[in-house]
Amino acid sequence: MDFRFTQEQEALRQEVRDWLRREIPARWIEMGVALWEENDEIWAIARDFERKLAAKGWLAPGYPSRYGGIDATPMEQAIVGEEKAYAGAPAMLSDVLAAGWVGPTILLFGTEEQKERYVGGIGRGELVFCLGYSEPEAGSDLAAVQTTAVEDGDHYIINGQKIFTSLAHRADYCWMAARTDRDAPKHKGISMFVVDMKTPGVTVRPLVNMLGFHEFNEVFFDNVHIPKENMVGEKNRGWYTLIAALNFERSVVYIPAANRRLIEELVSYARETPWEGGVLADNPLVRHKLAEMALENEVCRLLCYRVVWMQTRGMIPAYETSVSYLHTAELTRRLAHIAMEMLGLYGQLDKSSKWAPLKGAIKSLCLGALGLGIGGGTNEIQRNIIATIGLGLPRG
């Protein structure tokens, strides 16, 4: 099997790499932005950088050029994503969420007007989306959503609550699931909508995450009137649209690239940190664990490439995205704990301390990585998908 990239793909990788080296703001590097950290300055820098990416066609490279992309193949999209992640480019969840999940789904199921308005707006770096999925009684079992959308003339009236909605306080629109038929089986009565967050009746309340940052929110919809044309896809068949969006979400080729950068930084730290008359890298246990993480991360990268390969050939990954997502989530958690063991008590320091190694990234990673096994479907949900769809095992 030939794992080499084509000359054109290697040229794209080098072009992106060189551009990132020039364009990543010095202030971003100086701040050492932590995983899931969010404030006004971070948001402003990230949004400005996203617009620069959009001008190159690299914010959403897979989009058609008319919507701000470069008609990139799935592998070319993966290359751009890898290079951004490895370089530590300014990014918020808004980048991945809108450009990587919402936009491609609207391209599949939306009308021409929806594609022009929303996909084009995302590709040009103009629009920010949040996800209206989870509810107080509907998390891993998304089909249990209770937020309703009732038809009323030329509008739908939405009532309900969403929770753990990332960046709802920054978003222009919410990509949301709502129940349009209460009497249908729960997988059959859901529809997908785009809701303007400035619509009367939408209330956003902050939820501070365990790192102390305001990224999550709870969102209330109180008689929110939206035009009928804001429905994406067929009425009562939104579950299939939602599953497509989740498959895009679980294609996480950028995470192994970010992990590779961290592993390299940990190797450098081990080579420079004194330990029992030598350096930490002299400890065979440290060497063994770092080598193990490097190998597992490469496996993770190849699992992600498998998904990309399938997409390149027009195939629809099903359980394969769950395999890559599950392995990535668990590997990142293990990597965070191994890094904390290496750094000892210093690993618990925040970047505000001058004694914090790696700008306090390990503390943030240990806390933030917990979400990788929850968002996008818990690890248990991924195992169920792998068991039933991948292995053909009966449902419990």
pLDDT, mean of residues 200-209 = 95
Taking only the tens place, the pLDDT of each residue in 73-127 is 999 999 999 999 999 999 877 678 899 899 999 999 999 999 999 999 999 999 9
pLDDT at position 376: 74
Taking only the tens place, the pLDDT of each residue in 185-199 is 888 999 999 999 999
pLDDT at position 333: 93
The CATH number assigned to the domain holding 73 equals 1.10.540.10
> Residue 136: inside a domain, yes or no?
yes
Question: 359 and 272 share a domain?
Answer: yes
Question: 135 and 221 share a domain?
Answer: yes
Dist. CA 149–CA 360, nearest whole Å: 44
Q: Pick left, alpha or beta for residue 2 (phi over 0 → left; psi -120 to 50 → alpha; otherwise beta).
A: beta
Question: 74 and 175 share a domain?
Answer: no
Task: Using the CB atoms, write b or e for 157-194: b if 16+ within 10 Å.
Answer: bbbbbbbbbbbbbbbbbbbbbbbbeeeeebbebbbbbb
pLDDT at position 141: 84
The CATH number assigned to the domain holding 231 equals 2.40.110.10
Question: 23 and 51 share a domain?
Answer: yes
In angstroms, how far is CA 218 from the centroid of its own chain?
Answer: 19
Question: 306 and 179 share a domain?
Answer: no
Q: Of 42, 63, 91, at which residue does a domain stop? A: 91
Number of CB atoms found within 10 A of residue 103's CB: 30
> Residue 217: inside a domain, yes or no?
yes
pLDDT, mean of residues 228-252 = 88
Taking only the tens place, the pLDDT of each residue in 22-68 is 999 999 998 888 767 888 999 999 999 999 999 999 999 999 999 99
> Residue 166: inside a domain, yes or no?
yes
* Lowest-pLDDT choice from 125-139, 156-170, 232-246, 357-371: 357-371
> Residue 124: inside a domain, yes or no?
no
Dist. CA 28–CA 129, nearest whole Å: 23
Question: 162 and 290 share a domain?
Answer: no
Confidence of residue 258 (pLDDT cuts 50, 70, 90): very high
The CATH number assigned to the domain holding 362 equals 1.20.140.10
pLDDT at position 118: 97
Question: What amino acid is encoded at 110 in this protein?
Answer: G
Question: 385 and 268 share a domain?
Answer: yes
> Residue 1: inside a domain, yes or no?
no
Q: Choose, from 82, 83, 249, 320, the residue flagged as catalytic.
A: 249
Dist. CA 382–CA 329, nearest whole Å: 11
> Residue 98: inside a domain, yes or no?
no
**Does the pLDDT of residue 1 top 60, yes or no?**
no
The structural domain count of the chain equals 3
pLDDT at position 2: 66
> Residue 65: inside a domain, yes or no?
yes
pLDDT at position 36: 74
Q: What percent of the chain has pLDDT over 70?
A: 98
Q: Of 241, 260, 284, at which residue does a domain stop? A: 241
Report the chain's mean pLDDT, rounded to a whole number: 92
Helices 284-312, 254-272: crossing angle, 10 deg rounding: 160
> Residue 101: inside a domain, yes or no?
no
Question: 65 and 84 share a domain?
Answer: yes
pLDDT, mean of residues 320-337 = 92
Taking only the tens place, the pLDDT of each residue in 7-18 is 999 999 999 999
Confidence of residue 318 (pLDDT cuts 50, 70, 90): confident
pLDDT at position 213: 85
- Which candidate, 103, 94, 96, places its Cα nearest to that of 80? 96
Question: 276 and 360 share a domain?
Answer: yes
For residue 249, indicate whether it is catalytic: yes
Question: 282 and 384 share a domain?
Answer: yes
What range defines the domain where residue 227 resides?
Answer: 130-241
Confidence of residue 262 (pLDDT cuts 50, 70, 90): very high
pLDDT, mean of residues 344-353 = 90
What are the backbone angles phi and psi of residue 205, rounded to the nearest 5°?
Answer: -120, 135
Question: 294 and 363 share a domain?
Answer: yes
Question: 332 and 385 share a domain?
Answer: yes
pLDDT, mean of residues 195-210 = 95
Q: Which pTM does this prediction carry? A: 0.91
Confidence of residue 312 (pLDDT cuts 50, 70, 90): confident
Residue entry with tokens 């818990």: 378
Q: Of 91, 116, 141, at which residue does a domain stop? A: 91
